[in-house]
Amino acid sequence: MLLALPAAVAGLLVLGMVLLITASVARRALTGAEIPGTVELSEIGLYLSAALAAPWLLHKGQHIRADLLGPALPPAGARLLEGLSDGLGLAVCAVLAWVSWGTLVASYATGGVVRRTVTYPEWWLAAPLPFVFALLAGEFALRLTRVATDPAAVRRDEARSVA
């Protein structure tokens, strides 16, 4: 649920963006004026949809990986590489969770606002990232545990491209 719920919100955001932009185009065609804030809200929706879906995608093996070396190695080597790969992901996401928390705190402290058609505090945009990277770090940690405890845990069925 912890991973699927944000992903479901991401899906609804995409649907909301479709409807909002279409309504704005229709309104402009009919009255000459688009719905105010359409661009800003869609941009925020796009960013949120990508960020909120990321932990779920990792859990589902949907983030693209090339996996060029692993298949060429004997099972023990492939498992070691898998552990290295998950350990690296864990380290990157843990650092980014910490850095994005720092960015959020700094942004809140300075009290900056984004002034466009819609005005909102700057820290709102930074707020989801510590949560997202913490979830990603947790998922990498689970993957690492699986690789460490189960010799058959090397994954070969993950996404290779999104063309």
Partner 1 sequence: MSLSWEPAALLMLGGVTALILIGPPVAFCFLAINLVGAWLFLGGEFGLQQLVRNGIASLTNFSLTPIPFFVLMGEVLFRSGVAMRAIDAVNRAMGAVPGRLAVVAVVAGTVFSAISGSTIATTAMLGALLLPQMLARGYDRRMAMGPIMAIGGVDMLIPPSALAVLLGSLAGISISGLLVGGIVPGLMLSALFVGWIVLRCAMNPSLAPPDPGPPERATILPLLVHVLPLAAIFAAVVGSMVGGIATPTEAGAVGASATLVVAALYRGLTVKALAQALAGTVAVSGAILFILLGAVTFSQVLTFSGAGDGIVEVLRAFDLPPWGMVLLMLAVLLVLGCFLDQVSIMMLTIPFFLPIAAAMGFDMVWFGVLFLICMQIGLLTPPFGLLLFVMKSAAPPEVRMREVYAAAAPYVLFSLGVLLLVFAFPPLATGLNAWLR
Residues that bind partner 1 (CB under 8 A): 7, 10-12, 14-15, 17-22, 24-25, 29, 39, 42-44, 46-47, 49-51, 53-54, 56-58, 60, 62-70, 81-82, 84-86, 88-89, 91-93, 95-96, 99-100, 102-103, 106, 125-126, 129, 158-163
Q: Which DSSP state fits 35?
A: P
Q: Which one, 57 or 149, has the nearer CB to partner 1? A: 57
Angle between helices 38-60 and 128-149 (to 10 degrees): 10
| Nearest Cα residue to 37 out of 52, 17, 53 | 17
Q: Which one, 85 or 138, has the nearer CB to partner 1? A: 85
Please enumerate in sequence order all residues whose Cβ is within 8 A of that of 40, keeping only pairs 6 or more positions apart, or say none: 116, 117, 118
Q: From the CB of 135, what's the least distance to partner 1, in Å?
A: 13
Which class for 135: exposed (0-12), middle (13-18), buried (19 or more C-beta within 10 A)?
A: buried
The answer to whether 138 and 86 are in contact (CB under 8 A) is no
Q: Which one, 64 or 151, has the nearer CB to partner 1? A: 64
For residue 97, count other CB atoms closer than 10 A to its CB: 20
Q: Which one, 69 or 150, has the nearer CB to partner 1? A: 69
Q: From the CB of 14, what's the least distance to partner 1, in Å?
A: 5
Q: From the CB of 48, what's the least distance to partner 1, in Å?
A: 9
End-to-end CA distance of the chain: 28
Q: Which one, 12 or 113, has the nearer CB to partner 1? A: 12
Q: From the CB of 2, what's the least distance to partner 1, in Å?
A: 16
Q: From the CB of 149, what's the least distance to partner 1, in Å?
A: 19
